[in-house]
Amino acid sequence: MTPDQVRARAFAMPLTNPSYPPGPYRFLRREYLIIAYRTDPAALARILPKPLVAPEPIVKYEFIRMPDSTGFGDYTESGQVIPVRFGDQHGGYVHAMYLDDDPPIAGGRELWGFPKKLASPVLRVEHDTLVGTLDVGGVRVASASMGYKHRPLPAPALRAALEEPGFLLKIIPHVDGRPRICELVRYHLADIVLHGGWTGPAALSLVPHALAPVAELPVLEVLSATHLLADLTLELGEVVHDYLG
């Protein structure tokens, strides 16, 4: 294979059999359970990278069920998103993500910089309750519950929340271990089709774990819960800050 042929095929690793296909990446019937909670401001300050700013000490713990996604298949995800401000723009900083499928782990980390790690999240309905759990190495790290479809939420507010940008810290090391890429990345969701959204009573419990430290942002008060279904496209990102530049 010539150098020109390598460059022409070098979309992702491995070169001759990439872990995921080129985008766009479309998700159908994507289902969210999002529990917003108040946390310790000092703990939040220790993990949030500047120039991002958290207007309030709030975290959104998410479970996302993705039964039909282009190139990535059928999988479930769980993690923490922090409402932030970047200059005058409001959005969400993705702090932690745990999921059960290799292609979105590889693609998420390589393309955008999503902080994805392998684990065993579940989002399911048990009778009258929407339940989310995250197990890591046989340890139950997160448990969430919400009354199933108690009250509908207005579509404009749901759409506005989905249309806010997301922010990621993309890190790719050099072969000697030094950071070769260290960038703040912004991304958007597009072509959103809402199928419904609801709220209800909710609870969230986080347990300390050495390799999945979601409990380092402790739950001081549950503020709200959202259950929503939507089709959407995950767009590719753009670099908004270079930590090495």
pLDDT at residue 79 in the model: 98
Q: Any long-range contacts for 211-215 (C-beta under 8 Å, 24+ apart)? A: 211/117, 211/136, 211/137, 212/96, 212/98, 212/117, 212/119, 212/134, 212/136, 212/141, 213/96, 214/61, 214/79, 214/80, 214/96, 214/134, 214/141, 214/142, 215/141
Residues in a beta bridge with 83 = 92
Is 116 one of the annotated active-site residues of the chain?
yes
Per-residue pLDDT reduced to its tens digit, 7-28: 999 999 999 999 999 999 999 9
pLDDT at residue 144 in the model: 98
pLDDT at residue 114 in the model: 98
pTM (two decimals): 0.96
Query: Which one of 50, 116, 149, 170 is the catalytic residue?
Result: 116
Quote the CATH superfamily of domain 26-230: Acetoacetate decarboxylase-like (2.40.400.10)
Per-residue pLDDT reduced to its tens digit, 51-108: 999 999 999 999 999 999 999 999 999 999 999 999 999 999 999 999 999 999 999 9
Per-residue pLDDT reduced to its tens digit, 164-212: 999 999 999 999 999 999 999 999 999 999 999 999 999 999 999 999 9
